[in-house]
A = this chain, B = another copy of it.
Amino acid sequence: MERPIGIFDSGIGGLTVLKEIINAMPGEDTIYLGDTARVPYGTKSAETVTKYSFENARFLLKFNIKLLVVACNTASAYCLPQLKKALQIPVVGVIEPGAKKAVEITKTKRVGVIGTEGTIKSGAYFDAIKSIDSSIAVFTQPCPLFVPLAEEGWTNNQMAHLTAQTYLNDIKKNWIDTLILGCTHYPLLKEVITEVMGNKTMLIDSGHETAAEVFRCLAEKNLIKIISSKESSHRFFVTDSPDRFKQVGSRFMGASLRNIELVNLENL
């Protein structure tokens, strides 16, 4: 199958998911849409996020994608079931894979979740974990400053440390052994989060788990690309400020970004 995988996020964060997908399936072609004109989704209402998500999906469907990844926790929290129902192709969100993994590895049956205000308020991780194993205790904490810290590149300085300490202090007291990084920006802060939580707390990177889920899904439906000698292609679309996306995004991908195009979703 030569059809690409479509991925959208509210902005730059989803690149950490894309990176994991490319690592796991280097032969696949991808098309990434960052809705940088309307970022952030984390403080917006469910109605607004749902509307934007459907517009993003509609744009990606024009490229004949074989699978859609909703690489945004807020969008996954608010409208994944609706997207799954409306679309003819498989849709993978970033919440279920992380929740599943947490249930699988927790020994103390005490799991923490950190994310944006929207993700935490939606209760999506709480519900996802409880629906697999209702005996697991779930503790949540919104960490709004983590996103701007990651975008500013302040991921391992004193501000990052203090912020992590402030946010994680309470959740740490709950004796959790597993912490879900419920926002695609947070893998950039893994180091400081580990330092605050200690080595014994297992961190779950939703992007990594999502890539594994994408692979399972493609394999199951026989949609894996037959690897040819042709290099895989990775296209990027943004709804605003391609320069900033290129600059900040390169830090998120750990590689410089090419093929970034500006698109206006409202004129489609």
Contact = CB atoms under 8 A, between A and B. Distances in A.
A157 B244 CA distance: 30
Contact of A241 (B38, B44, B157, B159): B44
A48 interface: yes
Nearest to A148: B148
Contact of A45 (B38, B144, B241): B241
A44 B154 contact: no
A145 interface: yes
A37 interface: yes
A154 B166 CA distance: 11
Contact of A148 (B39, B44, B144): B144
A48 B37 contact: yes
A223 interface: no
Interface in A96-125: 117
Contacts of A149: 145
A240 B148 contact: no
A149 B48 CA distance: 24
A201 B57 CA distance: 51
A233 to B, nearest CB: 26
A162 interface: yes
A231 interface: no
A115 to B, nearest CB: 15
A130 to B, nearest CB: 25
Contacts of A44: 36-37, 240-241
Interface string A28-63: 000000001111000111001000000000000000
Contacts of A250: none
A121 to B, nearest CB: 10
A220 interface: no
Contact of A145 (B37, B154, B240): B154
A151 interface: yes
Contacts of A145: 145, 148-149, 152, 154, 159
A206 to B, nearest CB: 22
22 contacts: A37-B44, A37-B48, A38-B38, A39-B43, A43-B244, A45-B240, A45-B241, A48-B240, A144-B151, A144-B152, A145-B145, A145-B148, A145-B149, A145-B152, A145-B154, A145-B159, A147-B148, A148-B148, A157-B166, A159-B162, A159-B163, A162-B162
